[in-house]
Structures are given as structure tokens and as C-alpha cells.
Amino acid sequence: MVRRERGFSLPELLMVVAIIAILAAIAIPNLLQALNKARQKRSMADIRSIATAWEARATDLGKYNAAGAGYLGISEPVTMDNLALSLQPTYIKAMPTHDGWTRDFYAYVDLPWGDATETSQRYVIASSGRDGVVNAGQAMGPFSSFDCDIIYANGTFMAYPQGMQVGN
């Protein structure tokens, strides 16, 4: 009795490769979109954490500035290092300084950070989004692009992702 070993034919192998390629073409864009959506959500959560700590400090001191291109008329930049020195460890254990795309967050107040005579009453915390470009003219409200800035001001998200995101 002769046993015949048989392998796969070339058309069968090509068909399997084609099916895998089709599945990859569907899955990879969805994976990239999910990763960018997760980066946005992480950035928003970190911004909320910073804002909560900053507001707790403002409750204690009665102002957002220290005893040192903007948004919404709030144009005095605050370095994340200065903000971290003021908030850690009393108001937040470890302050996040980078968004989901590993770019620095931006913070602004309405008066100079080091001004001891004036009391700042407004602040902004922002992420420049996937493109890393700070857009001072960012439209407020919901947006559908990963490149738009995420802007949080005085307890409210002013520019934020909502709904289906587009990859452009």
C-alpha cells in the first residue's frame, strides 16, 4: 500500500494570504483609531486630575497664580514645572506633565504666575492633540479630529472630542 503525502497547493496558499491581508486591512486602521481615542481619553483624565489639584490649591489660597499663545484671553503661560512645584505632593501625588501623545501639557492663567499683588481667577490646561501644534484659534465645543487641541478652563472642557473621530 502506497501512502501519498500531500501538501497545500499554491492557489490554496495564495487564498490564505489574501484572506489574512483583507483582515489586516480592516483591523489595522481600527486599531490605530482605538489607540488615538485612548490617548485622547488619557489626556482628558490627566487634565481633569491637574485641574482638580489646581482648584483645591485655589480653594486654599484664593487664587490660581503663585504667591510666577493663550486661550480664551487667558494668556500668561505657566510652566508645568512651576505648576508641579505648587501642587505636588499636597494637592496631587504625581502630576502628569505629558498628554497621551507624550507631548507637554500647556497651562495658562489670566495674570502672571509670579504676581503676588494680583489674584488670578481664571486658568486653562490644554493638550495640543496628535499633531502637536498649539492652535490659539481652536474652535470651542466638540470636535472630530485627533489633531484638535483639548482645552479645559475653569472646571469645564471647552474643546473636547465627541462622537466618531476621523484620522485626518
Domains, in order of start, for the chain: 10-166 (3.30.700.10)
**Cross-strand bridge partners of residue 161:** 143
Sheet holding 141-145, edge to edge: 76-78, 106-109, 123-127, 150-153, 156-166, 141-145
Q: How far apart are CA 97 and CA 71, in angstroms?
A: 19
How many C-beta neighbours within 10 Å does residue 5 have? 4
How many C-beta neighbours within 10 Å does residue 108 have? 23
Average pLDDT for the chain: 84
Q: What is the pLDDT of residue 71?
A: 52
pLDDT tens by residue, 62-111: 888 765 444 555 778 888 888 898 899 999 999 999 999 999 999 888 88
**Per-residue confidence band for 163, with pLDDT thresholds at 50, 70 and 90:** low
DSSP element (H, E) containing 18: helix 10-61
| Cβ within 8 Å of residue 33, ≥6 positions away | 165, 167
Q: What is the mean pLDDT of residues 24-50?
A: 91
pTM over 0.85: no
96 preceded by cis ω (within 30°)?
no
**Per-residue confidence band for 53, with pLDDT thresholds at 50, 70 and 90:** very high
Considering only residues 120 and 97, tell me which one the structure prediction assigns the higher pLDDT. Answer: 97
